[in-house]
Amino acid sequence: MDALELVRVRELEVAVRIWHPEASRSVVAWHGLARHGGDFEDFAREMGPSWRILAPDTPGRGLSSWSLYPAHDYLYAHYMKVAVALLDHFNLEQVPWVGTSMGGLIGMLMAAEPDTASRIERLVLNDVGPELDPEGLAGLAKYFGAPHRFSRFSELEAELRRHYTGFGIEGDDAWRRLALGSARRLPDGSWTYHYDPRIGEQFVHDTPRDTWADWAAIRCPLMVVRGADSPLLKAASVSRMTQAQPDLVSLEVPGCGHAPMLDRTSQVRPIADFLDRPHRRVLPGTADGALTLWRRGLRWLKEARHRLS
């Protein structure tokens, strides 16, 4: 990273990793459940110096504070409040958002909520959407809900290679960098992951919601990136996402599961092109907005009838 900013959000300190801090355009890049903003190092370099990349470490991860109240703070509703506080801190009224897994869901919920929708200029979801495979989710909950301890650093690196094979990482150097950014030493000299082991409680405490309704409510331009072998986001789900949002731009990444690392030109260039694409935002209350809402409502009604038949 080129800079690090530490932002106080109530009792928590949130670390924001920044690349190209002097660039004229900004994009928020938000990581997945048990990762941190450092994952966007290669993404930032591929995007180039014209983009300022703001990649927060979600509370409980990386360099950010661990919460004293996990049941309150390790929830999507709280992450959205943190996100708004960060946008305010950087004086960003509206910004493109690129989110991997959990980071994509945070962006999706913000783009759907009336109070925050205007803050998301356009949204890129990396291997996530309104419908996730239950078995894949259960696997994540099981893995990250259990403590992990390794006697040697090499054991931690080997486990990372096994568990994160879906990232599509290539080369020993890249795996070593991932391990260096993922490790935390314990008082007894053993090793574990960087994150608070209680982040997995999110699966217990978070409130279920109708994410398909959230998806239908979004008005900004949308793109989804899917790992071709993803156990979490199925191809059928992307098709349904397109039915609800016909202008959805999609990219399938071969040789990846959950989730593409966004670390090479073939993955980043389509995202950069999407971020550069001009668009006319459809606003509720206008004639175009009313027509768009009617069309989306009609599609939703047809889908609902089909599901009930």
Output the pLDDT for position 282. 52
Residue 273: inside a domain: yes
Distant-in-sequence, close-in-space partners of 56: CB < 8 Å, separation ≥ 6: 14, 15, 16, 17, 28, 30, 37, 64, 82, 83, 86
Q: How many domains does the chain have?
A: 1
Residue with tokens 């996730």: 132
CATH number at residue 174: 3.40.50.1820
Q: Is 102 helix (H, G, I), strand (E, B) or coil?
A: helix
pLDDT in tens, 128-137: 999 999 888 8
pLDDT in tens, 54-88: 999 999 999 999 999 999 999 999 999 999 999 99
Q: By residue range, what is the domain housing residue 211?
A: 3-278
Output the pLDDT for position 307. 41
Q: How many whole angstroms separate alpha carbon 258 and alpha carbon 164?
A: 8
pLDDT in tens, 231-264: 999 999 999 999 999 999 999 999 999 999 999 9
Residue 234: inside a domain: yes
pLDDT in tens, 82-125: 999 999 999 999 999 999 999 999 999 999 999 999 999 999 99
Residue 305: inside a domain: no
pLDDT in tens, 10-23: 999 999 999 999 99
For residue 276, what pLDDT band results from cuts at 50, 70 and 90?
A: very high
Long-range residue pairs from 184-190, CB within 8 A, at least 24 positions apart, any chain: 186/149, 190/149, 190/150, 190/151
Give Cα 180 to chain centroid, integer Å.
Answer: 21
Q: How many whole angstroms separate alpha carbon 256 and alpha carbon 262?
A: 11
Residue 48: inside a domain: yes
Residue 142: inside a domain: yes
Q: How far is CA 99 from CA 127, 159, 302, 304, in A?
A: 9, 24, 30, 28
Residue 296: inside a domain: no
pTM over 0.85: yes
Residue 301: inside a domain: no
For residue 280, what pLDDT band results from cuts at 50, 70 and 90?
A: low
Q: Residue 21 burial (CB < 10 Å; 0-12/13-18/19+)?
A: middle
Average confidence (pLDDT) over 146-151: 93
Q: Residue 148 burial (CB < 10 Å; 0-12/13-18/19+)?
A: middle
Greater pLDDT, 208 or 111: 111
